[in-house]
Amino acid sequence: MKSSTGYRIGIVNPLTLVGNEIKTILRDRSFPFAKVSLLDSTGKAAGALTEVDEEPAVVAAVSDDELEDLDLVFFCGPPSGNREWIDHYRDDRFVVIDVSQPSTIESGKLAVAGINLDAITGKDTLLISPHPVAIPIALILHQIQMLSAIELCTATVVQPASEFEQVGVEELAQQAISVLNVRSVTKEVFDRQLAFNLYPALERNEEFIVEQIRALTEPDAQFALLITQGTIFHAHTFSLFTKTRDDLSVDQIVSRLRENPAIVLPEGDQSFGTTDAAGKDEVLVAEVRRDPTIRGGFWVWAVCDNLRRSSALNAVLVAEKVLFGNSKVM
């Protein structure tokens, strides 16, 4: 700690959906901070009034003076505006947790609660919370590879409008109302009608995401990823086909998935859909079934809140591990 009063935390671009979620999770988990600085790297939010821990707070422009006062900084929002400020971490002696994706940091260490937090120490000062698509897939594959080597994984992902911040959510809502009232739709965030539609996503970064999944799971496996854009406000939906070296039973896979507290499977008559994931802290695995035609092949259908487990919650869990040595998954 730089101050005897306690840890001083920074959130860069706190008005983004992920930045706001980090504030909420810090409060909900009673994170023991002495101070939270809200900083803007976009040149658009400085001076904005918001709140921290239910107290009024003003967003300031990010600067070297602000950063050198902090112990740990969460970087959210556009990665292009964050890079120059992340580079100050050595001179200003603060820990970086980069939640801006795709991250522009080449030398950072990927960190995911439920996979590799035990390998994170207080000496790790440049940490990357992976892309929100990569985290749920990596969590599922990490459990499966404990049973057998993964030879192949193909994933189709439906991406929510909230990946484009609040303006994306609002445009989808406006489009849905317009379509139902047979009016022309607004197309400013999305280049076509998204309401009641599904198409290949505009911003994919699939190769980048696959590299992160490989780094967290099985580097020799074959991975294929397709990201689509669908009529969803929050939460990613995942359809995974995985082939393992050994022919596993569904019971084996389900039992192994249940061992990770970051993953939840339905109990009894319970079932999961995309809307069930919103606001949840876990990856919800709705179904595991064997493929009837391919030995060692099976399907996993899962959903996950893209703002919590896949982004903000993971970042806060990493921060707790770095500062307090706490490696809890939840």
Alpha-carbon distance values, 60 to 5, 79, 93, 137, 200 (Å) = 22, 18, 20, 36, 37
Q: Are residues 319 and 300 located together in one domain of the fold?
A: no
Does residue 109 form part of some domain?
yes
Q: Are residues 279 and 230 located together in one domain of the fold?
A: yes
What confidence category does residue 327 fall into, taking pLDDT thresholds of 50, 70 and 90?
Answer: low
Does pLDDT of 82 surpass 90? yes
Whole-angstrom distance, CA of residue 139 vs CA of residue 267: 20
Q: Are residues 47 and 20 located together in one domain of the fold?
A: yes
Model pLDDT, residue 4:
86
Does residue 87 form part of some domain?
yes
Does residue 2 form part of some domain?
no
pTM for the full model?
0.95
Six-digit token string for 191: 């280049």
Does residue 189 form part of some domain?
yes
Does residue 250 form part of some domain?
yes
What confidence category does residue 330 fall into, taking pLDDT thresholds of 50, 70 and 90?
Answer: low
Residue 282: closest CA among 251, 305, 300: 305
Residue 199 neighbours by CB distance under 10 Å: 13
Q: Residue 28, CB half-sphere, CA atoms under 13 Å: how many? A: 14
Mean pLDDT calculated for residue range 103-132: 93
Instruction: Provide DSSP, 304-325.
Output: E-TTIIIIIHHHHHHHHHHHH-
Q: Are residues 285 and 319 located together in one domain of the fold?
A: no
Our count of domains for the chain comes to: 2
Does residue 72 form part of some domain?
yes
Does pLDDT of 326 surpass 90? no
Model pLDDT, residue 196:
96
Six-digit token string for 327: 């490696």
Q: Are residues 99 and 238 located together in one domain of the fold?
A: no
CATH of the domain at 170: 3.30.360.10
Q: Are residues 30 and 115 located together in one domain of the fold?
A: yes
Q: Are residues 81 and 176 located together in one domain of the fold?
A: no
* Domain limits for position 112: 7-130+311-324
Q: What percent of the chain stands above pLDDT 90? A: 90
Does residue 208 form part of some domain?
yes
Q: Are residues 52 and 141 located together in one domain of the fold?
A: no
CATH of the domain at 30: 3.40.50.720
Does residue 330 form part of some domain?
no
From edge to edge, which strands make up the β-sheet containing 33-40?
Answer: 60-61, 33-40, 7-12, 72-75, 95-98, 126-128, 109-110
Residue 138: closest CA among 62, 209, 217, 21: 217
Model pLDDT, residue 1:
83
Q: Are 81 and 12 in contact (CB under 8 A)?
A: no
Q: Are residues 123 and 163 located together in one domain of the fold?
A: no
Tens digit of pLDDT for each residue in 219-239?
A: 999 999 999 999 999 999 999
Does pLDDT of 21 surpass 80? yes
Does pLDDT of 329 surpass 80? no
Report DSSP state, residue 130.
P
Q: Are residues 117 and 224 located together in one domain of the fold?
A: no
Does pLDDT of 11 surpass 80? yes
Mean of the per-residue pLDDT values of the chain:
94
Q: Are residues 158 and 265 located together in one domain of the fold?
A: yes
Mean pLDDT calculated for residue range 115-139: 95
Q: Are residues 286 and 315 located together in one domain of the fold?
A: no
Mean pLDDT calculated for residue range 175-202: 95
Alpha-carbon distance values, 202 to 199, 205, 232 (Å) = 9, 10, 15
